[in-house]
Amino acid sequence: MKTILILGAGKSATYLIDYLADSCVEKERTLILADLDQSTAATKLKNRANTLAASIDIENGDSRKGLIVQADLVISMLPAFMHPVVAKDCLELGKHFFTASYESDALREMAQEIEAKQLFFLNECGLDPGIDHMSGMKIIHEAKAKGEEIISFKSYCGGLLSPQSEDNPWKYKFTWNPRNVILAGQATSRFIEKGELKYVPYHQLFKRIETVKFPGLGDFDGYPNRDSLSYRKVYGLEDISTMLRGTLRRAGFCKGWDVFVQLGLTDDSFQLELHEGSTYRQFLNAFLPWSETLSVEEKLAELIPDLDFPTFEKLQWLGFFENRKLPLLKGSPAQILQAILEKDWALQPEDKDMIVMQHQFEIKTERGIKKLTSSLVDLGKDAAYTAMAKTVGLPLAIAVDLFLEGKIKGTGLHLPVLPEIYLPILAELERQGIRFVEQEWY
């Protein structure tokens, strides 16, 4: 009987847990779900047979290894900084390792030893990274098999709200780690456009957007991710003239967010200690010039020349012009901003989220340049069974299931960019309702 260990029972693990726990009896497996809070793990497992809830102190080596040694395969749903630590434990104890997160340099340094021990480590098998790799590689490999050349590849993804839950001017609420949203893009973005290398510093990032359209859903802002250039090698497109990976927000979001960036409210490099009773208005004013005559609103308009009414409305809706008491007085500007947004951007029980992803290809064929878009839209059920949790957790769960069934073979350190890995995962995702719609034209 094979034993699966999942480390972390957070929001993004819901579908992962259900998919693997539901088949434990039929497939003669045991599932251990470990979390800092054992009761959370027990709730997620719902008393299913062959499942066990456990508590874990992730920073305690003995606690981690005591659980890992019981398993054949470990899935890390912990914060990203813990993946290399868990991976190293798995390497030491001879256990296979799976995660949805980015493959780090620390993991790459283990590659030779992973292969030597005949272990299988799979990273970047979630949504973005994950489904984006698999669906993109399918198109790339199909084109290459026909002797066609990919000359442009842009890929965008966003975790947003279902249209029916867009009840604020930002058309946004947190469906993922809020801190990651606050700090998004703070490293310079790098991509290649028409053969020219492009670098977008943080203070320009939310101005340098492209409009991405989805039929029936309207327009979205797309801004570039930190590093698109390294994926030329991952995708086997070293000579491609345009390569960009980006994030999607609703049209108008980026202009509003850019106000926070320009003012310095997303700065995480220093600490504030605000006096008791400080308000939203005072917090905003602290980042504006002093004036004897101008109001906060007037100073903001003077400092941000392109401040239009829709952007002003977004800030107003969040309460920045009111004497509302701040929820946090000590912390970096980014931490205080996060505390403010967590109140108004919290996903309510009745809310439904939405995942949107779109690949945009230009392919040189015998007939000429073919343009192809491949689009995914997935809607969540509620605030627990979100589209984010589904699209992050299911690819990972399917990969684990296929590996234990012997349908994914091999050893070493991998991303899901090989046909023997991505084809069966994509086929099962389609059965689960996660499917792309392709359009092409010349």
Structural domain boundaries enclosing 12: 2-123
State both tokens at 125: 């098998």
CATH number of the domain to which 180 belongs: 3.30.360.10
Owner of token pair 């799979």: 122
Count CB atoms within 10 A of the CB of residue 230.
Answer: 11
Q: For position 185, what pLDDT does the model report?
A: 85
Q: For position 12, what pLDDT does the model report?
A: 87
**pLDDT score of 336 more than 90:** yes
Q: For position 103, what pLDDT does the model report?
A: 92
263: helix, coil or strand? helix
**pLDDT score of 16 more than 90:** yes
Pairwise CA distance, residues 70 & 200, whole Å: 47
CATH number of the domain to which 63 belongs: 3.40.50.720
Same structural domain for residues 15 and 32? Answer: yes
Whether 233 is covered by a domain: the verdict is yes
**pLDDT score of 420 more than 90:** yes
Same structural domain for residues 156 and 230? Answer: yes
Whether 326 is covered by a domain: the verdict is yes
Same structural domain for residues 326 and 380? Answer: no
Confidence of residue 80 (pLDDT cuts 50, 70, 90): confident
Cβ neighbours for 438, distance < 8 A, ≥ 6 positions apart:
372, 373, 374, 375
Pairwise CA distance, residues 167 & 20, whole Å: 35
194 — alpha (psi -120 to 50), left (phi > 0) or beta? left
Q: For position 156, what pLDDT does the model report?
A: 97
- Strand-pairing partners, residue 121, are 97, 413
Cβ neighbours for 112, distance < 8 A, ≥ 6 positions apart:
none
State both tokens at 61: 């080596």
Same structural domain for residues 270 and 248? Answer: no
Q: How many domains does the chain have?
A: 3
- The residue-averaged pLDDT of 349-365 equals 95
Q: For position 59, what pLDDT does the model report?
A: 85
Same structural domain for residues 113 and 13? Answer: yes
Element (H, E) at 198: strand 196-200
pLDDT, tens only, 365-419: 999 999 999 999 999 998 889 999 999 999 999 999 999 999 999 899 999 999 9
Same structural domain for residues 340 and 353? Answer: no
Whether 420 is covered by a domain: the verdict is no
CA proximity to 140, closest of 418, 430, 425 = 418
Radius of gyration of the chain (CA): 23
**4 backbone dihedrals φ, ψ, rounded to 5°:** -105, 135
Same structural domain for residues 238 and 113? Answer: no
pLDDT, tens only, 166-206: 999 999 999 878 998 999 888 899 999 999 999 999 999 99
Confidence of residue 146 (pLDDT cuts 50, 70, 90): very high
**316 backbone dihedrals φ, ψ, rounded to 5°:** -65, -40
One-letter amino acid at 326 equals: L
With a pLDDT cut of 90, the percent of the chain lying above it is 91
Cβ(70)–Cβ(30) below 8 Å:
no
Please identify, among 123, 139, 169, the residue that sits at the C-terminal boundary of a domain.
123
The answer to which of 132-146, 179-193, 275-289 has the lowest mean pLDDT is: 179-193
pLDDT, tens only, 207-247: 999 999 998 899 999 999 989 999 999 999 999 999 999 99
Q: For position 32, what pLDDT does the model report?
A: 97
